């Protein structure tokens, strides 16, 4: 079985492969395909964006499972922002660092107890241009008042988990890949694919 993950993000794909390690499926990303894709993520929800990615690829790769993934950080105090705009929160050429800086500026002076947030991940599995299944995962935490840690990517350095007394970027990847929003969604996907094969 082949699973094409509709992403060019190498950090994200590395994490996905680690989470799905041991699954007897050939997992490839858009970077591994001959055809090059430029998919505009203009959906209004994580699910719309994930489906848009998967569908665009599915039109060219028949009889393969295509997985669209969209994820982001929703901050209660900011009415759910950055949300689906997480990747480009600081502008079209945003980096992980500039996004984190903008987020911290947006919450400057906001007390810790009002900094509740959640990482959300939505996976959409498509085959032959048809929706097969949707899987979701969520991780609740708070936005810290500064960036800490060198592991992970995206908003990991500013997303604080009270239970661990650490930001996600301070966790070992082995722990993150068991508890994260993405890990929770992919655990459901893994279970579905394993049952599909049996």
Print the domain residue range for 15: 2-197
Kindly state the average pLDDT of the residues 85-106: 96
Residue 141: beta bridge partners? 117
pLDDT given for residue 196 in this prediction: 80
Confidence check: pLDDT of 156 > 80: yes
Residue 11 tokens read as 């950090």
Q: What is the CATH number of the domain that holds 149?
A: 3.90.950.10
Preceding peptide of 184 cis, ω within 30°: no
Kindly state the average pLDDT of the residues 95-115: 97
DSSP state of 198: -
pLDDT class for 48, splitting at 50, 70, 90? very high
CA distance 1 to 154: 30
Q: Report the catalytic residues.
A: 70
pLDDT class for 1, splitting at 50, 70, 90? confident
Cβ neighbours, 10 Å, residue 160: 22
% residues pLDDT > 70 (the chain): 99
Q: How many domains does the chain have?
A: 1
Encode pLDDT of 15-42 as tens digits: 999 999 999 899 999 999 988 898 888 8
């Amino acid at each position: 079985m082949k699973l094409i993950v509709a992403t060019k993000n190498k950090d994200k794909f590395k994490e996905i492969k680690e989470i799905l390690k041991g699954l007897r499926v050939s997992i490839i990303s858009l970077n591994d395909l001959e055809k090059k894709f430029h998919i505009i993520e203009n959906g209004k929800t994580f699910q719309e964006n994930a489906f848009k990615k998967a569908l665009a690829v599915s039109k060219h790769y028949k009889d393969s499972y295509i997985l669209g993934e969209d994820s982001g950080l929703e901050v209660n105090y900011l009415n759910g922002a950055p949300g689906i705009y997480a990747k480009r929160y600081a502008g079209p050429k945003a980096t992980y660092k500039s996004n984190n800086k903008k987020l911290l500026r947006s919450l400057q002076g906001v007390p810790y107890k009002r900094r509740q947030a959640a990482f959300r991940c939505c996976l959409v599995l498509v085959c032959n241009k048809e929706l097969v299944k949707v899987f979701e995962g969520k991780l609740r935490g708070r936005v810290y008042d500064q960036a800490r840690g060198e592991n992970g990517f995206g908003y990991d350095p500013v997303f604080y988990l009270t239970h661990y007394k650490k930001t996600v970027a301070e966790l070992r990847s082995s722990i993150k890949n068991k508890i994260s929003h993405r890990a929770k969604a992919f655990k459901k996907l893994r279970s579905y694919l394993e049952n599909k094969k049996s």
